[in-house]
Chains A and B, each alone.
Chain A
Amino acid sequence: MTPFGCGRARRAMPLRYYAALPTADREWLDRHLAACPACVSDWEALRLALDAAIPSTVFPMEAEVDWDRQARDTVARARTAAAAAPEGDSAVPLPGAARRPYVTLAPAAARWAALAAAALVAVLLVTGWPGRRAPGPGDVSSLQGPGDQPTAESVRESAALIETRLARRGATRYLTDSRVLLLNLVQAPARCRKADGEFDITFEKEKSRELLRRKNLHEGNLDTLRDRRLSDLVGQMESLLIQVTSLGDCASARQLHELREEIETRQILLRIDLFTREMQEKTHVV
């Protein structure tokens, strides 16, 4: 084995793991592994590492965050701050403001009374009005009385809620479909009828366009901290998909090779895998 052979083998391993190597390269790698104990050891180590690479091991802190609670706490803090601040008072003082703020004009006792009232309002806003029992499980009637039609406002709130949930699922599906598309493209695309030595990627181009259209639907629905990593990856996929759509219908081997290198360098398959691993069986992994 020449060092060049081992180097090439190591570079090909991540793609082999994600079944993204063209058949000829995969066969070459398998032959190499059959004769090179050092590379077999590297391959096993890589497989173990990638098998273990789930979101909770790669981003351990993220799993500890209760995003719903964090969102609620933030809203509660903002409400408390808003309720405690006198009307028209801004957190950032206006430059050159000549008037003294109202609070400094009020006597101390009145200020304390106002603060206490504000705190009470904040508590009521967060916990609900006294006498209104916090609804328990199964209390669907608390949404609306039977036969009542929901208000337009409650319907809009429900629509926004369901939209965010669907956006998360839609974005994950978009990543999964993008992954399949990229694998198709770098593995074994069909030969182009028009020109020898080139590959017909008409289908992949059309599919990329469709995926980009789907991605645009979720724009703005993945803005929370919880979805940051997902949103970043969705954005990163955009440039790869645009690259695919900008190729000619018959792509050259060099263009596909470049695409494969980008996918490998940017660890696209690993990143997508982290998101989708929990969602589906690992049927695609060797």
Chain B
Amino acid sequence: MSSDRRPVRAAILATGLAGVLAFATLGGAATEEDLFRQVKVDVFDQDWPAVLSGCDEILRRKPSGQAAARASFYRARALSKIPGREAEGLDAFRRFVAAYPGEKVMVEEAWGGIFTAACHPRAASRAACGAALREGLADSSSYVSTLAAIRAADSGDEALRPRALATLKKAYATQTEPEIKNEILIAILKIDPKQVPQAAAAPPPPPAAPGPPRGKPPAARQPTLIRMTVYNKIEKRYDLKINLPVAFARMLVDSLDEEDLQDISREAEKKGIDLDDIFQAIEKNGAGKLLEVDSEDSHIEIVIE
């Protein structure tokens, strides 16, 4: 009797064991969420091969799952960071932009990735850079076209420059974020210094005081150029030697090292110059030496012409 039941028991046991194993396998498998959490850790660690394999796994399991967009994005980022696979990264970013137009923020990031990968000094061809920038300039997003125009200022593609310049001028007129505005101005300067908007240089002259006309005032030349030098006395060399249209006065001051800025602010205060309103100071002082600071370590000069 018992020997008759043995096969049945064995079958029940085998079935039960198979069930337990199947449950354990299913339950133990990393979910999409677990996988993506690991991808995020790998992105932080900049372990790009691990990011790539994690994203590939997510996309293989659930190509249209919740994490698919971000996995596609980070897959492209990983490829663009792995030496020798940058071109694949460029393609992957392009595919991302085409596949997820609704992911506005990541699409903007992807465009940044496209420009960087295509125009990197080690990129395979210059033509790819020109093509990517041209495409970016034509994009309907004003941010993407502005970014493309800023990058175009650094590219050697002369044909792109007029188009980039037009985009930059338009963006400069509408942009409110100071940091982006500065970058636009620098890009315009790189393309054609004569095109730097003069409105950025100085406020309009104050209206004439009421009263009887005093005759025509002598034609004073508007300051157009700011020259700044920071001489390192210890190393006997220039730390900074800059020659720019006066529109960049504010940026020049902002670009100074903290220590130099403190020195120059002190000197400016002594001379009654308000560095926060440097354009007014330039207007008031006219051409000539605006500031000169001589410390133990350095000698700073700002000259207006």
Contacts and interface: CB of A to CB of B under 8 A. Distances in A.
B266 interface: no
Contacts of A155: 189, 193, 243-245
A138 B43 contact: no
A246 interface: yes
B227 A144 contact: yes
A235 B193 CA distance: 32
A219 B190 CA distance: 17
Given A135-B238, A220-B116, A156 B180 contact: no
Contacts of A245: 105-106
A20 interface: no
Interface of B: 40, 43-44, 46, 69-70, 73-74, 103-106, 108-109, 112, 115-116, 143, 147, 150, 154, 177, 179-180, 182-183, 186, 189-190, 193, 225, 227, 229, 231, 233, 235-236, 238-245, 248, 251-252, 254-256, 258, 292, 294, 298-299, 301, 303, 305
A69 B232 CA distance: 12
A232 B43 CA distance: 11
Interface bin, chain A: 35 or more
Q: Is the interface of A mostly helix, strand, loop or mixed?
A: helix
Nearest to A213: B143
Contact of A137 (B182, B231, B242, B305): B231
Interface string A217-240: 101100000000000100110110
A66 to B, nearest CB: 9
A158 B243 contact: yes
A166 B243 contact: no
Interface stretch (A1-9, A145-153, A182-190): A145-153
A212 interface: yes
B255 A242 contact: no
A143 B179 CA distance: 28
A150 B46 contact: no
A279 interface: yes
Interface of A: 68-69, 134-140, 143-144, 146-147, 149-150, 152, 154-156, 158-163, 165-166, 169-170, 173, 208-210, 212-214, 216-217, 219-220, 232, 235-236, 238-239, 242-243, 245-246, 262, 266, 278-279
A209 B240 CA distance: 34
A74 B140 CA distance: 43
Contact of B190 (A136, A140, A147, A156): A156
Contacts of A159: 186, 189-190, 244
Given A68-B239, A147-B305, A242 B105 contact: yes
Nearest to B194: A152
